[in-house]
Chains A and B, each alone.
Chain A
Amino acid sequence: GAGVSQSPRYKVAKRGQDVALRCDPISGHVSLFWYQQALGQGPEFLTYFQNEAQLDKSGLPSDRFFAERPEGSVSTLKIQRTQQEDSAVYLCASAIALGPSSYEQYFGPGTRLTVT
């Protein structure tokens, strides 16, 4: 079946612009995670949702970052007033719950954000 899709795949923004990154999870997956991957590093957790509820946003680096999932399916990660240090690949993962706090996560192709 269809996997996780993300759009756009590439985004170039001028410093100070706002951007919105979209994630379409695997149909029926209740849980959705966002990660940020800097060049040469492993992904780092940003936030996650169960249905429309944002259960953990402890990884969001600043209040310029905002995520939502209003209908419990598609999610959007918004970055306001982008800065150069926001340049990274943003990965979305759709997840199957295996038990309390235990998930099997399937990733989309990511959005590569470059802030100039």
Chain B
Amino acid sequence: SQQGEEDPQALSIQEGENATMNCSYKTSINNLQWYRQNSGRGLVHLILIRSNEREKHSGRLRVTLDTSKKSSSLLITASRAADTASYLCASNGTASKLTFGTGTRLQVTL
């Protein structure tokens, strides 16, 4: 069963705007990973943040982690039409496996 939740479920923005997606999880984690998934395709690894980190950057991506609230956020700055996809967070708990949420569907329009 899913143990993570993303918020919002869907987000529509214009090109150039920033997109923020939130994720909550339920158990203690070793790390949390964000993935992008285009319709009908596999998961592309975006960024990993370890449990002892609070913020991480990669290009236009910024991830934060608040272990006290069991939550994470993904910020995509200066969005592009090519960023249109579903974004999923996955928590890596003590059992090695990843536990995913259902994802946020991001639509970036011109």
Chain A residues close to B by CB (< 8 Å)? 31, 33, 35, 40-45, 48, 55-56, 59, 91, 93, 98-110, 112
B102 within 8 A of A: yes
B43 touches A91 (CB 8 A): yes
Across the interface, which residues of A come within 8 angstroms of B2, CB to CB? 41-42, 44
- 23 A-B pairs with C-beta separation under 8 A: A35-B98, A41-B102, A42-B100, A43-B90, A43-B98, A44-B2, A44-B100, A48-B96, A48-B97, A56-B96, A56-B97, A91-B42, A91-B43, A101-B93, A101-B95, A102-B92, A103-B98, A104-B45, A105-B33, A105-B98, A107-B42, A107-B44, A112-B40
* Interface residue total, chain B, C-beta cutoff 8 A: 29
Which chain A residue shows the least CB distance to B94? A101
Measured between beta carbons, the chain B residues less than 8 angstroms from A43 are 43, 88, 90, 98, 100
Additional A-B contacts beyond A41-B102, A44-B100, A107-B44 (17; CB < 8 A)? A31-B96, A41-B2, A42-B103, A43-B90, A43-B98, A48-B96, A56-B95, A93-B98, A101-B94, A102-B30, A103-B98, A104-B33, A104-B48, A107-B42, A109-B41, A109-B42, A110-B41
